[in-house]
Amino acid sequence: MKPTIALVGRPNVGKSTLFNRLTKSRDALVHDIPGLTRDRHYGHGLVGEKPYLVVDTGGFEPVVDEGIMFEMARQTLQAVDEADCIVFIVDGRNGITPQDKIIANRLRQSTCPVWVAVNKVEGMNASVVCADFFELGLGHPVAISASHGEGVRLLFNEILEDFPEPEEEEDADHPKFAVIGRPNVGKSTLVNAILGEERVIAFDQPGTTRDSIYIEFDRNDRNYTIIDTAGVRKRGKVTDVIEKFSVIKTMQAVEDANVAVLVLDATQEVSDQDARIASFVLETGRALVVAINKWESADQFQKDMIKREISRKLGFLEFAKFHYISALQGQGVGELFGSIDQAYAAAMIKIPTPKLIRGLEIALERQQPPIAGKIRPKMRYCHQGGTNPPVVIVHGNALEKVPDSYWRYLEHHFMKMFNLQGTPLRVQFKKNVNPFEQKKPAGAKPMPMAHLKGAKPKKYGKR
C-alpha cells in the first residue's frame, strides 16, 4: 500500500504549489491569496524513487473556533490523523512566526514522522534561512523551492527511505462520476452523504468549494472515484479570478468523468443555468444522472412546480434517470448508485458489429432517409467507433445529404434497441470512397486517342 504524505502549514506558504510539483499537474488552484485551498486534495506523487499519495490541505488556523477557517482546520487535522508522514511547510522569507510554533506544538502530538520544509529560499543562503526553524523542535529543517523545484526531489527521497516498496496494484477500470450544479444546491453535502463522513467542507455559503476534489472510495466491493466540483454561476456574474478558474476546473472534471450527477434544488425553480450545465454535459457526451436535492424542504406546490419545470426545460434529457433525494437526511442517496452503475455500463458498452448492422437494417426498414434532390442516401453497414459516449459509424453513399431529423432518429433507435439508459449516443456518417477514382486536375481536357503513343486513328470505309 502506498504511503500517504500530508502537506501542512499556515496559509500562503506554498502547499498547493508543492502539490502540483509533486504530482506534475495543475490540479490544485494556485494564487497569491491566503486560504485559497479549503478541502483535502489527494494526488499520486511522481517525484521520488517510490510511489506515494500526497495530500494538499487548506491553510491551518488552529486558534479559530468558527466559520470557514474552522472547517478548514478540521479538514487539515483529519489529514494529519490519516497520514503516514507529515511535511510541515514554512515560509523562509517571512521567518518563523507565532502561528508556526502553535502548529508545531500540535504536530508533535502526532505519532507519524514530521519533516520541516523551508519553502521560498531561491536566491537565499539556505543554511542561514533554516537556522531559525530549529526552534520548532521538529528536527533538521530542509530548504526547498516549490516553484523552482530546488531540493524537492532530495527531500522526498529521504522521506521515502523509511517506507517499504509498495506492492503493485491492479489498475482496474472503475466508474468516475462528477457532482455538478449551481452554487449552494448541496453538492458537497451529497458527497459527504455518499462517503459517510465529513470529507469536504459543506457550508451554508455559495462558493465554498473552489477546487475539483477527487476522492476514491469503495462501495459494495466496487471502486469508485467521486469528484466534488465548484458551483457554476452565469458567466455574467463570474467576476472573481478564482471563481473563473473554479468554473474551468468544473468543466474539466466533467470531461474527465464517465458520469455526471447534476444536482438541482427542489426549493427553487429550474433555472436557465441548470439547462446550460445539462447542455454542456450533453455536448461532452458524458452519461448523466439528475438528483433533485432538498426534497424534504419542498412543499407540495414546489414539488409539483419543479416536476413541470423539469419536463419543460430539461426535456432533452430523456435518456437520464431522475432521483428525488435529501442529501442532508440521506434519503434516496443509495439509489443513485444503481443509476450511476447503469449509466456507466451504457457509456462503456461494446456492441458487436453484426448486431449493429442488424439494428441499422431494422431502422431502414421502418423509415428510409428522405430523398435529397434526385438522390436517396444509401446506408450500407455500420460499426462501433468508440465509447464514453458510444459512437456508431455508418458507411454509405451521399450521406452528407442526410437531414438532422433522420440523424436524431438513428440515435434514438440505437439507444432504444440496445437499452442504453443514462448515456447519449453519437452517430457519425462516413462516405464511401472509390479507391480507383482518380481526381483530374482543374482545367484539364481529355487527350485524343489518336495522339497517344502507338495509337492510330481508325479509317472507316464503305461496306
State how far the Cα of 395 lies from the Cα of 411, in Å rounded to an integer: 15
State how far the Cα of 200 lies from the Cα of 215, in Å rounded to an integer: 10
Considering 57-61, 297-301, 438-442, the range whose residues carry the highest mean pLDDT is 297-301
What is the per-residue pLDDT for 367? Answer: 92
State how far the Cα of 120 lies from the Cα of 95, in Å rounded to an integer: 11
- Identify the sign of the CA torsion 348, 349, 350, 353: negative
Cβ atoms of 414 and 392 closer than 8 Å: yes
Q: Please tell me the least confidently modeled range out of 26-30, 34-38, 222-226, 302-306.
A: 34-38
Domains of the chain: 4-160 (3.40.50.300), 176-346 (3.40.50.300), 353-431 (3.30.300.20)
Kindly state the average pLDDT of the residues 452-460.
49
pLDDT-derived band at 65 (thresholds 50, 70, 90) equals low
Q: Please tell me the least confidently modeled range out of 231-245, 264-278, 381-395.
A: 231-245
Q: Which residue has the higher pLDDT, 61 or 254?
A: 254
Cβ atoms of 80 and 4 closer than 8 Å: no
Cβ atoms of 319 and 421 closer than 8 Å: yes
**C-alpha to C-alpha distances, 323 to 293, 315, 339, nearest whole angstrom:** 8, 15, 9
What is the per-residue pLDDT for 362? Answer: 94
Task: Give the number of other Cβ atoms within 10 Å of residue 144's Cβ.
Answer: 28
Q: Please tell me the least confidently modeled range out of 84-98, 231-245, 395-409.
A: 231-245
Task: State the cell numbers at 210.
Answer: 473552489
Residues in the chain: 463
State how far the Cα of 222 lies from the Cα of 215, in Å rounded to an integer: 14
Q: What is the pLDDT of residues 270-292, one digit of tens each?
A: 888 888 888 888 888 899 999 99
**Residues annotated within a binding site:** 9-16, 56-60, 119-122, 181-188, 228-232
pLDDT-derived band at 202 (thresholds 50, 70, 90) equals very low
Q: Which residue has the higher pLDDT, 242 or 67?
A: 67
Query: Taking 80 as the threshold, does the pLDDT of residue 456 lie above it?
Result: no
State how far the Cα of 71 lies from the Cα of 169, in Å rounded to an integer: 33
Query: Taking 90 as the threshold, does the pLDDT of residue 3 lie above it?
Result: no
Kindly state the average pLDDT of the residues 360-371.
92
State how far the Cα of 291 lies from the Cα of 96, in Å rounded to an integer: 48
What is the per-residue pLDDT for 210? Answer: 47
Query: Taking 80 as the threshold, does the pLDDT of residue 443 lie above it?
Result: no
Q: Please tell me the least confidently modeled range out of 30-39, 369-378, 393-402.
A: 30-39
Average pLDDT, the chain: 80
What is the per-residue pLDDT for 449? Answer: 46
3-state secondary structure the chain: CCCEEEEECCCCCCHHHHHHHHHCCCCCCCCCCCCCCCCCEEEEECCCCCCEEEEECCCCCCCCCCHHHHHHHHHHHHHHHHCCEEEEEEECCCCCCHHHHHHHHHHCCCCCCEEEEEECCCCCCHHHHHHHHHHHCCCCCEECECCCCECHHHHHHHHHCCCCCCCCCCCCCCCEEEEEECCCCCHHHHHHHHHCCCCCCCCCCCCCCCCCEEEEEEECCEEEEEEECCCCCCHHHCCCHHHHHHHHHHHHHHHHCCEEEEEEECCCCCCHHHHHHHHHHHHHCCEEEEEEECHHHCCHHHHHHHHHHHHHHCHHHCCCEEEECECCCCECCCCHHHHHHHHHHHHCCCCCHHHHHHHHHHHHHHCCCCCECCECCEEEEEEEEECCCCEEEEEEECHHHCCHHHHHHHHHHHHHHCCCCCCCCEEEEEECCCCCCCCCCCCCCCCCHHHCCCCCCCCCCCC
Kindly state the average pLDDT of the residues 85-93.
90
**C-alpha to C-alpha distances, 447 to 437, 442, 443, 460, nearest whole angstrom:** 18, 14, 13, 21
* Amino acid letter, residue 208: T
> Percent of the chain having pLDDT more than 90?
25
pLDDT-derived band at 67 (thresholds 50, 70, 90) equals low
Query: Taking 60 as the threshold, does the pLDDT of residue 453 lie above it?
Result: no
What is the per-residue pLDDT for 35? Answer: 46
pLDDT-derived band at 382 (thresholds 50, 70, 90) equals very high
pLDDT-derived band at 252 (thresholds 50, 70, 90) equals confident
Kindly state the average pLDDT of the residues 128-139.
89
What is the per-residue pLDDT for 346? Answer: 94
User: Which residues lie below 8 Å from residue 421, measured CB to CB, with a gap of 6+?
Assistant: 319, 321, 342, 343, 346
**Residues annotated within a binding site for GTP:** 9-16, 56-60, 119-122, 181-188, 228-232
Kindly state the average pLDDT of the residues 127-137.
89
What is the per-residue pLDDT for 434? Answer: 57
Strand bridging mode 378-386 / 259-265: unpaired
pLDDT-derived band at 446 (thresholds 50, 70, 90) equals low
Query: Taking 90 as the threshold, does the pLDDT of residue 324 lie above it?
Result: yes
State how far the Cα of 440 lies from the Cα of 444, in Å rounded to an integer: 7
Q: Please tell me the least confidently modeled range out of 17-31, 340-354, 420-434.
A: 17-31
